[in-house]
């Protein structure tokens, strides 16, 4: 059976080629792109397509990756959330990105809880799940707090930026959300 996760308002399934339009539309929006692109600027379709290919390729290489987040009521793909650990990354991350038209509804934390539950189940020896967050990204820090992550004090340098590592330990997370 194909992989599907369900929450109260959302369906999560592995990102697939048919999600390319929704992904490129999100990455063309300045508010979505601000902390997701190397220069903080919106991406044109060719640049976003290459980023999308990386997300699809992550599934092929690692066997896990970002889920397309589908709003049950509309059937629309409203973002991508899920586990992510490209080569050189400081740990297994849960990442999130939601189309700005759907911000503020709690979709990112709702999807992240389902994705993290799946990830801890899939990797029984995984001690923690991190998120790599720009210190200026207040929205992302709010999501991290809602899903039980705390700032660890560790830093990770990427795209010339010093990024904070947030994390939640397996046992603490399972006690609250498992």
Ligand X SMILES: CC(C)(COP(=O)(O)OP(=O)(O)OC[C@H]1O[C@@H](n2cnc3c(N)ncnc32)[C@H](O)[C@@H]1OP(=O)(O)O)[C@@H](O)C(=O)NCCC(=O)NCCS
Give the residues across from 77 on adjacent strands.
70
To ligand X, the closest distance from the beta carbon of 13 in angstroms equals 18
Number of other CB atoms surrounding residue 98 within 10 Å:
22
The one among 5, 15, 24, 108 contacting ligand X by CB under 6 A: 108
150-158 sheet: strands from edge to edge: 5-6, 10-14, 67-71, 77-84, 93-98, 128-133, 161-169, 150-158
Contact between 102 and 60 under an 8 Å Cβ cutoff? The reply is no
- Site membership for ligand X, residue 119 (CB under 6 A): no
Question: How would you class 20 by CB atoms within 10 Å of its CB: exposed for 0-12, middle for 13-18, buried for 19 or more?
Answer: middle
Taking contact as CB under 6 A, which single stretch among the options 40-48, 55-63, 83-91, 99-107 is the one that binds ligand X?
A: 99-107
Closest residue to ligand X, Cβ-based? Answer: 104
Min. distance of Cβ 78 from ligand X in angstroms?
8
Residue 104 in the binding site for ligand X (CB under 6 A): yes
Nearer to ligand X by Cβ, of 36 and 129: the residue is 36
- Options 1-9, 17-25, 30-38, 52-60: segment touching ligand X (CB under 6 A): 30-38
Interacting span for ligand X (CB under 6 A) from 2-10, 107-115, 147-155, 169-177: 107-115
- Figure out which of the listed residues 14, 42, 83, 97 binds ligand X, where binding follows CB under 6 A: 97
Q: How many angstroms separate the CA atoms of 98 and 53, rounded?
A: 18
> Which segment (2-10, 60-68, 136-144, 153-161) binds ligand X by CB under 6 A?
136-144
Give the end-to-end CA distance of the chain in Å, rounded to a whole number.
23
Tokens linked to 163: 């990024």
- The residues binding ligand X (CB under 6 A) are 32, 35-36, 96-98, 103-109, 133, 137-140, 142-143, 146
């Amino acid at each position: 059976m194909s992989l599907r996760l369900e929450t109260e308002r959302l369906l999560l399934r592995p990102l697939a080629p048919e999600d390319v339009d929704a992904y490129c539309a999100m990455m063309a929006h300045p508010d979505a792109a601000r902390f997701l692109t190397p220069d903080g600027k919106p991406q044109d379709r060719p640049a976003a397509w290459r980023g999308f290919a990386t997300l699809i390729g992550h599934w092929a290489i690692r066997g896990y990756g970002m889920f397309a987040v589908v709003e049950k009521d509309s059937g629309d793909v409203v973002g991508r959330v899920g586990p992510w650990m490209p080569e050189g990354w400081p740990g297994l991350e849960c990442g999130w990105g939601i189309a700005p038209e759907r911000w503020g509804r709690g979709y990112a934390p709702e999807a992240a809880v389902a994705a993290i539950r799946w990830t801890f189940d899939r990797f029984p020896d995984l001690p923690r799940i991190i998120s790599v967050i720009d210190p200026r990204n207040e929205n992302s820090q709010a999501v991290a707090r809602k899903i039980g992550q705390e700032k660890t004090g560790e830093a990770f340098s990427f795209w010339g930026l010093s990024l904070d590592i947030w994390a939640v330990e397996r046992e603490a997370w399972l006690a609250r959300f498992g």
